[in-house]
Structure 1
Amino acid sequence: MSVSLAVVENPEKPALAAQTAEVVVLKFGSSILRSPAEAPLVASAVYGHVRAGRKVVAVVSAFGGATDRLLAEARALGLSHSNDLLPGYVALGEEKSAALVAIACDRIGLDACALSVRELGIVAEGEPEHSRPSGLRPDHLKQALDRHEVVVVPGFGAVKSDGKVALLGRGGSDLTAVFLAAELGLNKVRLVKDVDGLYDHDPNDHAAPALRYRRASWDVARKLGGALVQHDAIDLGESRGVEIEVAALDRADGTVIGERSAPPGPAPALPPLKVAVAGCGVVGGGVLGRLLADPRYDVVGVLVRNPNKVRDVACPQSLFTADADELLSRKPDIVLEALSEGEAGHALIRAALEAGCDVASANKQAVSRDPGGLQDLAKLKKKRVFWSASVGGGAPMVETVRAARAAGEVVGFEAVLNGTVNFMLERLGDGAAFSEALADARAAGFAEEDPSSDLEGLDAAAKVRLLAFEAFGVSPAVEDVPRDHLTEATDASGGVRQLGAAYLKDGAITPSVSLSADHGDPLFSNLRGEGNALKVYGADGRVWRCRGRGAGRWATTESIMADLAEIVRLRRADAGLN
């Protein structure tokens, strides 16, 4: 399943598609990937770029300690430094982390692939354990980028002219990232570290406050970088004209290494942000689990119906409350709203904005009641309200509509908007009984115990209303959206899909939610399982598309976490901290 943002078609330029997307190269070292448990954090960082319309080459190191373990295992069997087999075995560490990061990306709905050292095809010369890249075998990486949004590649390893694997020295993943950026014609690469930039001395040395460089010259980086950035990578960046950004995970600021320096200064202190979560179901529980494991956030409260209910998230009992006023009395900076009921969710969003909180919501029934009113209140209170997670799960539908509208007038959209219904229609089309398809949807975590909102089209109608607001600036009334119901009598043969649509003609909006096999587009007919997809039509004939996982804990959790990350970035920018 893929996520693709603002892929544009033009009848006059049929080749204009994903190949025009901006490409970024990100490197994640073992200080970030300490174990497989950190792979979802890397996937989350990658998702933020894909949601913004970029393709990503993610260069990864082996998990913490893996290289030393592999070396020890090989040497225990008698392999020495001079043995040509040693590099091939050691490079397995990076290949393993690349595969697991790609799996973590797939779990949240990203279209990702992992390449091996040989598939990537960096050609190197020199000593087997400290070689230098001299070329890139044609087409391998570019073909992968043509086919996927995310390509995860191992750092540290390359291939010699005789076909044997060589290593690029300790810290070689930095070198891989800089080299690939240069080969792709980029002028910048981002190295994600466990520190937020280059300092004038070790920040852990408390004899004097450490000062961080906003910009550092190549010479300054070589002098102060130490183990932070491999010197070979700095040399290559200078010779190939590729600036090197060094930053911490999900931090907009850091150090740019390039031609010139700027005087270092104090790095801003960033205390944990106080976050409250409303709801602890499929999405709320997923969000809560992520927040509790992240030191950047301090969870101050969780709003639930029954604070004593056993949850599938290990959370201190003291955080749970059934009282919305009590939740807000804990003075969160940000409220993440994922309640299952529209009226209560809408009321909480308004109360949170009134209380001075930023808000991100995954509750389409709450937001679609009055999106314009919520935006007006947020503007009045100088706060922000985000709702990308309320439509499309992990598919960036709101961003796609906004990109289309920013490019010109939008005249309509069509979409598969409900992952539960799409999942059931596929099962029904394969011959399953209605009760069996519904039971499977519940078992997969897509359908609620009361699935009426999905089956009666209310869920899709709320999303149509919200997307209509994004596309046209006006949200149709609930009663103005006709809906087909999915029942035991529905004929699901022939590739039937539940399509939500709205068109603008002569100033009038025509919305609908229908069950139809006559959609005429492989974008919809090829969707599998919980897949969602969207087409947005511009008045000039251009068409924007996106697709992704439209239901399930991980895809929707990732979307609301991306909204949270954007709120944090904007808050820090307002405070001059980015």
Structure 2
Amino acid sequence: MSASLALVAENQKPQAQFDAEVVVLKFGSSVLKSPADAPAVASEIYSHVRRGRKVVAVVSALAGETDKLLSEARALGLDHDNELLPAYVVLGEERAAALVAIACDRVGLDAVGLSVQQLGISAEGPSQHARPVALKNNKLREALAHHEVVVVPGFGAVRDCGRVALLGRGGSDLSAVVLAAELGLDKVRLVKDVDGLYDRDPASASGNPQRYRRASWETARQLGGALVQHDAIDLAEASNVCIEVAALGRAEGTVVGHHNAPPGPVGAEAPLKVVVAGCGVVGGGLLSRLLWEDGFEVVGVLVRDPFKRRDVDAPAELFSNDVDALLAKKPDLVIEALSEGEAGHDLIRRALAQGVDVVSANKQAVALDPAGLQKLASENGARVAWSASVGGGSPMIETLRAARAAGPVAGFEAVLNGTVNFMLQRLGEGADFADALADARAAGFAEEDPSSDLEGRDAAAKVKLLSYEAFGKVPNEVPCDALSAQTKVGASPVRQIGACFDKAGHLDASVSLNDALEDALFQSLNGERNALKVFGADGRVWACKGRGAGRWATTESVLADVADIVRARRAAVELV
């Protein structure tokens, strides 16, 4: 039986049942050139996870890595037909998969990597250009059942004899199509360095290259060139799996399938002008990403002391303590990551009043009046987003919005403060209070003044924001237990639980230190990790977890909000 026929036969079964939608994303060496590109790939993956999806990420070797490995092997006498060569060459893909899994873990995603052998795509034919037949084991499905993200190497498969085979140049595209077909999906997304399939090479053609919104299999074969491997197109057509070709951070692209649509022009986009407010843990992380990413121009950074030495390599002229001067630069977007609630709230209001989009990571600022901020944004044709203000890298606001969209919410419980959770774990391990706090500072979780965390005010502000998402209003008060040197932590795990329940129209909210936990989700949280459980009025439960503190987890959540705003701006332009 041919590879195509085998996979089509396998694909007759219904989609594998998981607790969330599954997507297959493929990242090639055009976007994963070096280890420095792994955070951008993790951002793309995070954007899907925050929408409640599980991700299978198929990766190619870093740019030039395959040729390097081939050269090293041949220098030792392994010729092109040697049966041992493929096992060495796929180390490039396996290394890239491990790097991407590490980048995902850094931002708080629950990620795991598999090797070529563990993944178990079986193949037949020549060792250097084998044909995939099927997925022979359940490792992928098992990993998806227990993790948000599974990162796997492309290009490699396993023959019946147990030896590794290669799927030919561009074989990672083929791997991605195989996995989508095996999982019963109707599409696979190939993330490239261009935003779709064009009628001519957009990098070198004269005139105005036009992009296909939809392209038939035959059009893709004629124009795809090196963009999409022909074997992958053939298998996708036989397996009835559409291929989406898109760029990092872009929702739109080209869908390759049964139908064609005429190509159209794609307008050039000017970089988004951004002001970053704050250069601490979160603001510094944002600067380190935005200064080097295409599509953004950082025009200013708001700080108290423009001359203070910082841990981010940024031009000194960007730093200012003059809000008026920064807003006078007419930014498209203000990213607010100040440490003070009142100052942050005032800045958000000023920006929105001028029609400037805002993304905030400052829960104290937003919690002062979330409804008022949304109203002000609407009145001035602006957008405001604050996902990063609650949960760090854990998509709590998105989870609550999904629950509320499904029906009335009865209430929620959550571990909301990464600093406190980290300290409670250290205290449970026998550390004294001072050492636990020092460790939290050293890890980058606790601020120099940790009183907001320790007294529960930080968690209380997050309870208010989650209550607004759940019920459309905030509780009048949120009583809080404080964590101090006098807090007793014994053998049973203690967690700071923020909660709010609707009791006949009255919101009953609290932040308490709980040492009688029965919920396995909260008991299992280690270090700075946070988690949320939302209880629907109909008995359904939604949950999420992730890193709740730290530079990179919170930075990722901010960038995801930024990406949403960028997509909304593009959609608004297209409607004009």
TM range (shorter): over 0.9
Q: Deviations over 1:36-88 (max 9, x none)?
A: 11011111100010000000000000000000000000011111011000111
- Indicate if the aligned counterparts of 1:282 and 1:553 stay in contact, CA closer than 8 A: yes
**Corresponding residue of 2:573:** 575
CA distance in 2, matches of 1:441, 1:577: 48
- The question of 1:491 aligning with 2:491 is answered no
1:543 equivalent in structure 2: 541
Match of 2:219?
220
1:78-477 alignment runs, 5 A limit: 78-477=77-476
CA distance in 2, matches of 1:439, 1:20: 39
Do the aligned residues in 2 keep the contact of 1:395 with 1:532 (CA within 8 Å)? Answer: yes
Q: Tell me the TM-score normalised to structure 2 length.
A: 0.96
Please tell me whether residue 530 in structure 1 is matched to residue 525 in structure 2.
no
Letter in 2 for 1:302: V
Distance 1:354 1:231 in 2: 52
Query: Contact 2:211–2:265 at 8 Å: present in 1 too?
Result: yes
CA contact (8 A) 1:277 1:301 kept: yes
CA contact (8 A) 2:186 2:242 kept: yes
What secondary structure is seen at the aligned counterpart in 2 of 1:20?
A: coil
User: Once the 2 structures are TM-superposed, how far is the Cα of residue 264 of structure 1 from its aligned partner?
Assistant: 1.3
Contact 1:43–1:105 (8 Å) recurs in 2: yes
- Asked whether the equivalents of residues 18 and 146 of structure 1 are also in contact (C-alpha less than 8 Å), the reply is no
Please tell me the residue identity of whatever aligns with 1:397.
M
Corresponding position of 2:70: 71
Give the C-alpha shift of residue 501 in structure 1.
0.9
Aligned with 2:498: secondary structure? strand
Moved more, 203-212 or 447-456: 203-212
Instruction: Point out the more displaced range, 370-379 or 490-499.
Output: 490-499
Q: Deviations over 1:507-532 (max 9, x none)?
A: 10111111111232111111100011
**Equivalence for 1:513:** 511
Deviations 1:169-222 (A, max 9, x none): 000000001111111111111100001111111112243221211111111111
Q: Per-residue CA shift, 1:254-296, capped at 9, x if unaligned? A: 1111112111121121221111100000000001111001021
Counting only pairs closer than 5 Å after superposition, residues 37-76 of structure 1 correspond to structure 2 as 37-76=36-75
Task: Supply the distance in 2 between the matched residues of 1:353 and 1:347 (Cα, whole angstroms).
Answer: 10
Gaps of 5+ in 2: 1-15
In the TM superposition, structure 1's runs of 4+ consecutive aligned residues that sit over 3 Å from their partners are none
SS of aligned partner of 1:127 = coil
Matched residue SS, 1:253: coil
Whole-Å separation in 1 of the counterparts to 2:106 and 2:258: 40
Indicate the residue corresponding to 2:11 in structure 1.
Answer: none
Separation in 1 of the partners of 2:51 and 2:177? 22
Moved more, 560-569 or 197-206: 197-206
CA RMSD of aligned residues (A): 1.2
Q: Deviations over 1:380-419 (max 9, x none)?
A: 1121110100001011111111111111111111111110
- 1:244–1:257 CA contact under 8 A, matched in 2: yes
Residues 434-463 of structure 1: CA deviation (Å, up to 9, x unaligned): 100000000000001111001111101111
SS at structure 1 position matched to 2:191: strand
Quick one: distance in 2 between partners of 1:284 and 1:577? 33
Answer whether contact 2:19 2:145 (CA < 8 A) is retained.
no
Confirm or deny: 8 A CA contact 1:457 1:484 kept in the other structure. Answer: yes
1:576 is paired with a residue whose SS is helix
- Which digits, 9 at most, give the CA deviation of each residue in 1:339-359, with x for residues without a partner? 000000000000010111111
SS of the equivalent of 2:220 reads helix
**Partner of 1:553 in structure 2?**
551
Tell me, which stretches of 5 or more residues in structure 1 are unaligned? 1-16
Contact 2:417-2:458 at 8 Å conserved across structures = yes
Residue 577 of structure 1 deviates from its aligned partner by: 7.9
- Tell me the TM-score normalized by structure 1: 0.96
Equivalent residue, structure 2, for 1:9? none
Q: Distance in 1 between matches of 2:460 and 2:493?
A: 21
Structure possessing the higher relative contact order (Cα contacts under 8 Å, 6 or more residues apart): 1
Alignment partners' CA distance in 2, 1:19 and 1:63: 31
Q: In percent, how many aligned pairs have the same letter? A: 69
* Aligned twin of 2:8: none
Cα pair 1:268 1:577 within 8 Å, conserved: no
